[in-house]
Amino acid sequence: MRGRRAVSRAVLGAVSTVVVILGLVVVVPLVLVEIDESAVPSADQVDLPDGVVVDESSVWCASGGCWLEVHLDASDQPEAVLDELRAMDGTCPAVGGLDRRRVCIDSLGGGVTSFALSYKKTLGL
């Protein structure tokens, strides 16, 4: 009886530890985005279509926060790739599986080659 209780406590402790670690891995990046007004995503956090590369980028800030202005080299791309870039406008996909920060992609009006990348503040802190 005591052996079973010791094993169940060990399992409970291990499961609790894993849950806490996963919680920290998921929650800490979200909180940092919320409290850091100057947080800016990098261009490689956006899943660009094959063959499209960042030609130039610069960070801009205003009263609402900061964003990364990205100019893409999409020259000689087929229309399907340009359509894929157009479809990205106004979206806020998650960075990755465990990284739940969302990077918003907004067209800067320069066709399909100029975008502003910013983190979406989802927690409202």
* pLDDT tens per residue across span 27-37: 777 777 777 77
Mean pLDDT in order along the chain per 10 residues (125 residues): 73 88 77 78 88 90 90 84 90 85 88 88 69
Which residues are within 8 A (CB) of 67 and not within 5 positions of it... i.e. 6 or more apart?
Answer: 40, 59, 60, 61, 116, 117, 118
Q: What is the pLDDT of residue 103?
A: 93
Is residue 86 classed exposed, middle or buried when 0-12, 13-18 and 19+ CB atoms within 10 A define those classes? exposed
pLDDT of residue 124: 64
Residue 43 one-letter amino acid: A
User: Residue ranges of the domains in the chain?
Assistant: 1-125
* CA nearest neighbour of 123 among 22, 40, 41, 26: 26
